[in-house]
């Protein structure tokens, strides 16, 4: 790339004079820079190993925690369904006969109406007390 515009001849003279000045020498030698670069490289390597060690420690810790967690007793509520025995009523012979009689009577009434009811002999409608047995007495 070309330099834009030429500088004034008076400035050229000034530039030439100024360029005679030499910058002060550095106090740091080349060897010191190489030494520092080596030191920094060593530090970086140590940092890398430290990082690796930290990651391994974390992994080991996590593994131990996982193993201990697997052995431990876990407390949790357990629902147990209990079988309730079904109590079946046992009918006696009398009850069974009475129930059968009732069902028979019901079926008859359903089929034939009241006419189906068995006729009661000598009944008085239940309005008056029936005569005691053996009444009237014959002397």
Are 109 and 117 in contact by the 8 Å Cβ rule? The answer is: yes
Instruction: Find the shortest distance in angstroms from Cβ 52 to another protein.
Output: 20
- CB atoms under 10 Å from CB of 109, counted, come to 13
If one asks whether residue 9 binds another protein (CB under 8 A), the answer comes out as: no
The alpha-carbon radius of gyration of the chain (Å, integer) is 61
Instruction: Find the shortest distance in angstroms from Cβ 63 to another protein.
Output: 36
If one asks whether residue 11 binds another protein (CB under 8 A), the answer comes out as: yes
Q: The tokens 């129930």 sit on which residue? A: 99
Closer of 14 and 60 to another protein (Cβ): 14
If one asks whether residue 86 binds another protein (CB under 8 A), the answer comes out as: no
If one asks whether residue 126 binds another protein (CB under 8 A), the answer comes out as: no
């Amino acid at each position: 790339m070309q330099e834009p515009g030429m500088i004034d001849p008076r400035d050229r003279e000034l530039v030439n004079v100024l360029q005679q000045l030499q910058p002060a020498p550095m106090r740091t030698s080349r060897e010191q820079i190489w030494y520092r670069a080596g030191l920094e490289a060593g530090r970086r390597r140590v940092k890398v190993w430290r990082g690796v060690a930290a990651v391994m420690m974390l992994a080991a810790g996590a593994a131990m925690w996982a193993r201990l967690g697997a052995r431990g007793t876990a407390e949790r509520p357990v629902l147990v369904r209990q079988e309730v025995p079904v109590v079946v009523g046992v009918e006696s012979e009398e009850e069974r006969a009475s129930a059968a009689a009732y069902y028979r009577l019901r079926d008859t009434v359903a089929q034939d109406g009241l006419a189906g009811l068995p006729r009661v002999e000598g009944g008085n409608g239940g309005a008056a007390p029936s005569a005691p047995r053996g009444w009237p007495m014959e002397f």
